[in-house]
Amino acid sequence: MQATYRALLEHGYADLSISRIADELDKSKAALYYHYDSKDDLLVAFLEFAVDKFEATIGTETGSDPNDDLEHVIEKIIPLRPSEEERHLREVMVGLRSQAVTNVAFREQFTRLDEQIVTTTEEIIERGIDEGAFRDVDPTRIAEHIQATINGTMYARATTDRENAATATRVSLLSYIDSELRRHQ
């Protein structure tokens, strides 16, 4: 999976091949074809790996303050200042996501990823409501709005040169969260 990751970062989806992944792994193409029938089969396994890793990371990085946890999830997914590697990875992921239009296996993995983000966000909101940190709202409605905004921001960041758009969207999203969730005295 690490070799696939490195090859994706270097070549992107369009120029990715089993040969390039094998080169990163220092193995033969035959060794990869022994385990995977095609490049797309390998990429589905990679997406499953990436989703599992994301789930584990988000699950272990939440704390005791729902406000901080919600902001942490947003920062993790759409950082204000992504590193070059983070930026390139998101571009690769948007490229892979575009394949989900016609590839059912890719669609399943991206559905799973989006559902995990929504579920995590809902759980944070529900905890915040229970603890009195958030107003009594429909957690699903808020989580889906946050997810849609995150996806739009990732697509804009990966497919345009509008550098300030992601920052403006983050500020707007945090303002939305403040107005919808937080109790104001």
What are the pLDDT digits (tens) for 99-119? 999 999 999 999 999 998 999
Q: Is residue 14 part of a domain?
A: no
Residue 130 is predicted with a pLDDT of: 96
Helix (H) or strand (E) holding 4: helix 2-11
Query: What span, in angstroms and rounded, lies between the C-alpha atoms of 2 and 28?
Result: 16
Query: What span, in angstroms and rounded, lies between the C-alpha atoms of 2 and 23?
Result: 12
Q: Is residue 159 part of a domain?
A: yes
Task: Indicate if the pLDDT at residue 47 is higher than 60.
Answer: yes
What tokens appear for 175 in the block?
């303002």
Q: Is residue 107 part of a domain?
A: yes
What tokens appear for 149 in the block?
């905004």
Task: Give per-residue pLDDT as tens, 117-128.
Answer: 999 999 999 999
For the chain, how many structural domains are there in total?
A: 1
User: Can you give the residue range of the structural domain that contains 55?
Assistant: 43-181
Residue 172 is predicted with a pLDDT of: 93
Q: Is residue 27 part of a domain?
A: no
Query: What span, in angstroms and rounded, lies between the C-alpha atoms of 131 and 129?
Result: 5
**Mean pLDDT for the chain?**
88
Q: Is residue 61 part of a domain?
A: yes
Give the bridge partners for 1, in sequence order.
Answer: none
Q: Is residue 12 part of a domain?
A: no
Residue 180 is predicted with a pLDDT of: 94
Task: Indicate if the pLDDT at residue 185 is higher than 60.
Answer: no
Closest CA to 159 of 93, 105, 102, 103: 93
Residue 164: pLDDT band (50, 70, 90) is confident
Q: Is residue 76 part of a domain?
A: yes
Task: Give per-residue pLDDT as tens, 52-99.
Answer: 877 777 665 667 899 999 998 888 888 888 888 888 888 888 888 989
Q: Write the CATH number for 173.
A: 1.10.357.10
Residue 63 is predicted with a pLDDT of: 76
Query: What span, in angstroms and rounded, lies between the C-alpha atoms of 185 and 175?
Result: 16
- pTM for the predicted model, two decimal places: 0.84
Q: Is residue 30 part of a domain?
A: no
Residue 59 is predicted with a pLDDT of: 62
Residue 149 is predicted with a pLDDT of: 94
